[in-house]
Structure 1
């Protein structure tokens, strides 16, 4: 109860650091709803139940909040990729697993997927850099390709830059499925996945007939 009024105090009692997390959680929820354009610091402050000026104590501007939300979105994508990898052991299956995880995440979490690369350490400054020990989706793909090379399925001369080729193909497919014109359901989706993943495997991985 508020001593002065006798009524319950409805203000949120944020501890040190809790308001920053509350604002980040609100930004993540906004990204889920509408992608990176929806992540607005004023809206996050309103959702957290605090003033706009209070939000500025934790995020310098909208770009700072977006960078953190983007990092979180990439973390969720990376976690999904790792979950899929835990189910398979054979290198070709692991390559397909990370690709399928990427596509499925895009289709089931379009707002977060679009936000994941709205701010990135390669283009958006250090605010969007991963935390220490936190793997990026690109890193996980590189690890899978390294494993394929170690298993003798990927020639040494094909390894440099292989992440760029695979990522471009899979990200391009995800974008076409999300925004058209490719249909993203049923047999049409399965066909598109087989075509792209088959092209990746034929272009990179050594087939049995190629074995020395």
Structure 2
């Protein structure tokens, strides 16, 4: 069934003259099944119904392909976070809404890792586009706002800024808040999918997630 779906997608891509996207779609399917290690250029080409030579016209090599799939996985992660945040009710005023939105973004982040562990691992795999020797996207300070690779991070930044703007978070708590919130959510996600917490019963797992998120939010909002 997977091969049929991949071949159908390749035919659609050819019809529109967009082989690159057909190859990326095949790579996303492979990443979904087995993480970044499964994203092999020859297998992607086979699933798309083309030769490896044809695939090399669009990707310089394995790292280039994996980087494109990584960007797609990052976009899917950000979409999941955004869906949860948009569903937050607006009752209780702007400050309360901003607080619930931050918590929802955290739940969306961890929830994506649990539902799509292969894509989550791929989203944070070490891969670079062709011609780049090191990852300079962060610029030593903050990721660029217009980069799809960092959209999930920028959603977090916007949520934190909103907390300050509504008066819910004390301004002195704002510096470095991204690191505290992101590292907690990411570390928890990794413990749940690849660590000792992966055997927790669903109810216990959900309780751990809520407790961790509540603790981070409470810490960020507490006056110094």
TM class by smaller structure: 0.7 to 0.9
Take 2:41 and 2:144, find their aligned partners in 1: how far apart are those partners?
21
Alignment equivalent of 2:121, drawn from 80, 98, 114: 114
Q: Deviations over 1:130-158 (max 9, x none)?
A: 99574610000000000011111111111
Change (3 A) 1:167 1:120: farther
Q: Which residue of 1 aligns with 2:174?
A: 159
Q: Which residue of 2 aligns with 1:146?
A: 161
Aligned residues: 195
Contact 1:71 1:120 in 2 (8 A): no
Q: For 1:57-76, what aligned pairs fall within 5 Å after superposition? A: 57-76=57-76
1:25 paired to 2:25: yes
**What TM-score, normalized by structure 2, do the two folds share?**
0.79
Q: Deviations over 1:36-88 (max 9, x none)?
A: 01111111011111111111000000111111100000101111111111111
Take 2:193 and 2:145, find their aligned partners in 1: how far apart are those partners?
29
Take 2:136 and 2:59, find their aligned partners in 1: how far apart are those partners?
15
Structure (1/2) with the larger helix percentage: 2
Q: Which residue of 1 aligns with 2:211?
A: 195
1:171 paired to 2:224: no
**What TM-score, normalized by structure 1, do the two folds share?**
0.83
CA-based RMSD of the aligned residues comes to 2.6
1:181 paired to 2:196: yes
Deviates more, 1:140-149 or 1:86-95: 86-95
Change (3 A) 1:131 1:164: closer
Take 1:66 and 1:125, find their aligned partners in 2: how far apart are those partners?
17
Give 5+ residue unaligned stretches, structure 2.
1-9, 91-96, 129-133, 138-142
Take 1:91 and 1:51, find their aligned partners in 2: how far apart are those partners?
50
Q: Which residue of 2 aligns with 1:43?
A: 43
